[in-house]
Amino acid sequence: MDTADEVRLDAPHRELLDQILDKWSLAVLNELCERPCRFNELRRAIPQVTQKSLTATLRRLERNGVIDREVVSTRPVAVRYRITPLGKTLRHPVDVLLAWTARHLPAIERAREEFDERDAGSRTGPQT
């Protein structure tokens, strides 16, 4: 027997995925894969994110070593965010994942509709 199942879904792995695949991280990583960005460039590129959430996302990604933060002490201060080599290695797994969603989203939307219809029917109660 092997411990693969345990290892694969161990707390540290789950926690890592939570930190890197959360609501805004993919969008940020995607931007920074294209080019280095300043804080407000990222805000403009991802209009729905609030300043607070963007800051939190950037700190988390920085802490995990997938992006880095360079403070340029001009006046006023400029901050440049960049993807790190480690961050670049994320591209492939993320691409595979997004390829899956792109490919199967239609089937999933059909499944949802069917489920919701069954569910509506079961609330009404089936006929004799």
Partner DNA sequence: CGGTATCCTTAAAGATACTG
Partner DNA sequence: CAGTATCTTTAAGGATACCG
Enumerate binding residues for a copy of itself (CB under 8 A).
Answer: 5, 7-9, 12-14, 16-18, 21, 23, 26-27, 30, 34, 62-66, 86, 89-90, 92-93, 96-102, 104-105, 107-112, 114-116
- Binding partner selected for residue 111 from a copy of itself, DNA, none, CB under the kind-specific 5 to 8 Å limit: a copy of itself
Angle between the N-to-C axes of helices 51-63 and 25-34, in degrees from 0 to 180, rounded to the nearest 10? 70
Residue 76 contacts DNA per CB under 7 A: yes
Q: How many distinct helices (H) and strands (E) make up the chain?
A: 7, 3
Instruction: Note whether 14 binds DNA by CB under 7 A.
Output: no
Rounded CA separation 30/49 (Å): 14
CB of 128 vs a copy of itself, minimal distance in Å: 18
Binding track over 23-52 against DNA, x by CB under 7 A: x--------------xxxx------xxxxx
Measured between alpha carbons, how far is 78 from 71 in angstroms, rounded to an integer? 6
The distance of closest approach from Cβ of residue 109 to DNA in the complex, given in angstroms and rounded to an integer, is 20
- Closest CA relative to residue 51, chosen from 73, 79, 72, 74: 79
Do residues 82 and 32 touch, judged by C-beta distance below 8 A? yes
Binding residue for DNA, selected from 19, 21, 22, 46, defined by CB under 7 A: 22
Q: Say if residues 91 and 33 touch (Cβ distance below 8 Å).
A: yes
Contact residues for DNA (CB under 7 A)? 22-23, 38-41, 48-53, 55-56, 58-59, 69, 76-79
